[in-house]
Structure 1
Amino acid sequence: MYLKSLKLINYRNYDEEYLNFNKNINLLLGKNGQGKTNILEAIYLLSIGKSFRTNKDKDLIKFDKKNSYVGGLFEKGKEENIIEIVIGRDSKKGVKINKISIKKISQLLGNLNVVIFSPEDLKLVKEGPKERRKFIDREISQIIPLYYNYILNYNKILFQRNKLLKSNYIDKNLLDIYDEKLSDYGSYIYLYRRDFVKKIDTLARLIHKKLTDEIEELNIKYINQININVDDTYGDIKYKFLKKLKSNKIIDIQNKTTKIGPHRDDISIFINSLDVRLYGSQGQQRTASISLKLSEIELIKEEIGEYPILLLDDIFSELDQKRQQLLVDSFENVQIFITSAEDSHKRIFKNKEVNIFYVEEGRAIY
């Protein structure tokens, strides 16, 4: 899988830009604030349907324009496909795949698979559980688009349940209905997360051994409140979740919020049996984060039969020279887009096939 070309019209600081890419390495060089990350953001938009930098689509429109367009031609499974997204200030976002409009973002997911790695991802290990849940949800949704709908529906019911818990009068029958629906969607989320964490635990452990010359062993554990077993079925999980919701009902009413559920999940990351978040050095935390991100790439390859596109946003400025080289040398047959403000970073790609784009004031010159 690789992105052949990208067309931008009135996107961020770009008026109109058409770029052709190398199927291996594409390096975007330029000073900060010139538009390098905007290109990565546009590619991510084609994959996920939203930005990784803002929740407001209108932020993607050039400040003095009414509409923004992003189009990407890509090859997957030896077939050419095109995704086009139009964002308007006064209209809903429109998405087309091969010239056919789609109604739901879940229909977009899984078409163009992308993994992004930014300086924020280096904080994945030491930040709070919300960031790790976001990491899990984003990757499962790419592999299993239906999962995205489970998350949307779960959050909708969770919001309604919490609203009821905050009200002056609590309808117990309505609360029971919410519990049933929450356990429906939540149990699927638990199931997919459990299996996902199990897979990335195996992959990340192998990758981490390679990155640390087999000195360190990485382990990842799925943390949830209902003690899911490795062989639990959907029915088993739903029974446990619903039972926990009911037993916790008085506490939820007192606290006016839902204390039990996958919205409280986390993953624990260990190096040589020690919690790296608590006891790991900064270097160990960063290497563990790299191992997690690389495991995403390998998992997508296992699941869909092709490597995803890798976006590296200013990541080299955060890594020492050894980790820079290890990161680049870890990939074969992966299309990579890299942003950097340092011209000296070209040395990392010696003897590799690379296209270099010089980005300045909303223009990318090859």
Structure 2
Amino acid sequence: MSLTKLSIHQFRNIASASLNFNSKINVIVGANGSGKTSLLEAIYFLGLGRSFRTHLTSRVVTYEAKAFTLFSEIIHHKNPIPIGLQKSKSGETLLKINGAYCKKLANLTQYLPVQLITPESYNLLTGSPKNRRAFLDWGVFYHDPNFYPNWSRIKRLLKQRNAALKQCKTYNELQVWDNELCVLSDQISSQRQAYFDLLIPVINQTLQDFLPDFSITSQFFCGWDKNNKSLQQYLQDNFERDKQLGYTSAGPQKSDLRFKVKGVPVSDALSRGQLKLFVYALRLAQGLFLNSFDNKQCVFLIDDFSSELDQDRQQILAKHIINSDAQIFVSVIKQENIDMLFGQERTVFHVEHGKITVE
């Protein structure tokens, strides 16, 4: 998969732009506030149907405009697929893929697998387990076609169960949800574990370049202690507690990835700069896995490439990016060292006050 063309209208400070992209490396140069991150955000929208900066569409639409519109051409299995997306401030969404209207933004994900790295990416390791579940599920989604329908069903069951908790007086009243929930939870747990087991060697290989001085252990936690008792038993034993909390406290919605250095969580053992390098290794590993194991091309969006990276680390990151054989969009404030890091086989876009020109 790769993004070949993109037309942007009324997206943040980009009033209008029509761009043709390099199938490999695209460098976006501009000062802070120029609109270079907005360009990455527009591409991210085409991959996941949402922003990575806000959940409010009104903040994405250009001031005084009613809606933003994105038209694109994506190469999918060697075929060009036109995709159009429009979102209004009032909340209306129009999505058209290959000439047909689609109701679900989730349909976008199969056409443009996007990996995002920003200066705040270390939150993947320091933030809540939700961030790490999202990281893991991104990979499982593309690796196992049965994952998404299973997880969608689990989310519906959990919503029904949590609502029932407020009304049930005995655990037996929840059995209708828990029987199916436990079966699906075991399936989801196995799917996540199988993918993570395959991903770990790729992560370790990239870590050898980024953090060679650290021995980092990786573990998947399914959301309950399987060695202690079954999920069914956990749900039954925690009924009164869950009823007081108002939600289900054990299950795949509580799964996590645990990374440690000598038994200490990486969030406590590594500096912010080292955590950022670790996230680079994780994101790159997922992209490499997608390319090599699943035969799908990942698109990397890297915002503020040189932030908190010395020259040696920039070279390491650039090397891995180039070797990934993926399409890359990299934003930088200054064009210094671009030729040395990425060579001549790239397209450079200059952004100034929302206007985009090609070098």
Normalising by structure 2, we get a TM-score of 0.88
C-alpha deviations, 1:311-360, integer Å up to 9, x for none? Answer: 10113213222211111111232211011223335355353412111101
Q: Once the 2 structures are TM-superposed, how far is the Cα of residue 299 of structure 1 from its aligned partner?
A: 1.7
Unpaired runs of 5+ residues, structure 1, are 230-238
Given that residues 7 and 72 in structure 1 are in contact (C-alpha distance below 8 angstroms), is that contact kept between their aligned partners in structure 2? yes
Q: Return closer, same or farther for 1:111/1:293 CA change in 2, 3 Å cut-off.
A: same
**What value does the CA root-mean-square deviation take over the aligned residues?**
2.5
Rounded Cα–Cα distance in structure 1 between residues aligned with 2:59 and 2:8: 15
Once residues 59 and 181 of structure 1 are traced to their aligned partners in structure 2, the CA distance between those partners, rounded to angstroms, is 40
* Residues 49, 106 of structure 2: 8 Å contact kept: no
Equivalent-residue separation in structure 1 for 2:347 and 2:38 (angstroms): 18
Deviates more, 1:3-12 or 1:338-347: 338-347
Contact 1:164-1:170 within 8 A present in 2 as well: no
Gaps of 5+ in 2: none
Alpha-carbon separation, structure 2, partners of 1:53 and 1:73: 24
**Alignment of structure 1 residues 35-184 onto 2, 5 Å:** 35-90=35-90, 92-144=92-144, 147-167=147-167, 170=169, 172=171, 174-184=173-183
Cα deviation 1:134-181 (Å, max 9, x = unaligned): 2222333344465344444433432333333345x6465542223234
Which residue number in structure 2 is paired with residue 355 of structure 1?
347
- 1:324 paired residue number: 314
Match of 1:341 among 329, 333, 336: 333
Q: Distance in 2 between matches of 1:355 and 1:206?
A: 29
Cα distance between partner residues in 2 of 1:65 and 1:345: 38
Partners in 1 of 2:8 and 2:136 — Cα distance?
Answer: 30
Structure 2 residue 234 is matched with structure 1 residue 244: yes
Preserved contact between residue 74 and residue 111 of structure 2 (Cα < 8 Å): no
The aligned residue for residue 198 of structure 2 is 199
CA spacing shift, 1:348–1:149, aligned 2, 3 Å: farther
Q: How many residues align?
A: 355
The one-letter code of the counterpart of 1:70 is L
Structure 1 runs (4+) greater than 6 angstroms displaced: none
Q: How far apart are the structure 1 equivalents of 2:342 and 2:39? A: 23
Q: In 2, are the aligned partners of 1:58 and 1:87 still within 8 Å (CA)?
A: no
Partner Cα separation in structure 2 for residue 191 and residue 10 of structure 1:
44
Distance change (3 Å), C-alpha of 1:68 and 1:255: closer
Distance 1:69 1:312 in 2: 23
Amino acid at match of 1:325: Q
Offset at residue 11 of structure 1 (A): 1.7
Q: Distance in 1 between matches of 2:69 and 2:95?
A: 10
Larger CA deviation: 274-283 vs 128-137: 274-283
Aligned residue number for residue 251 of structure 2: 261
Provide, for residues 180-235 of structure 1, a one-character-per-residue CA deviation record: whole Å limited to 9, x for no partner: 343354334322221222122121011112334x5444331002343458xxxxxx
Identity %: 27
> Does 2:214 match 1:222?
no
SS of residue in 1 equivalent to 2:125: coil
Amino acid in the other structure paired with 1:34 = S
Selected match of 1:301 from 288, 291, 295: 291
1:9 aligns with 2:9: yes
Deviation, 1:273, is 5.8
Distance verdict in 2 for CA 1:351–1:90, change over 3 Å: closer
Q: How many angstroms does 1:36 deviate by?
A: 0.8
Deviation, 1:81, is 1.5
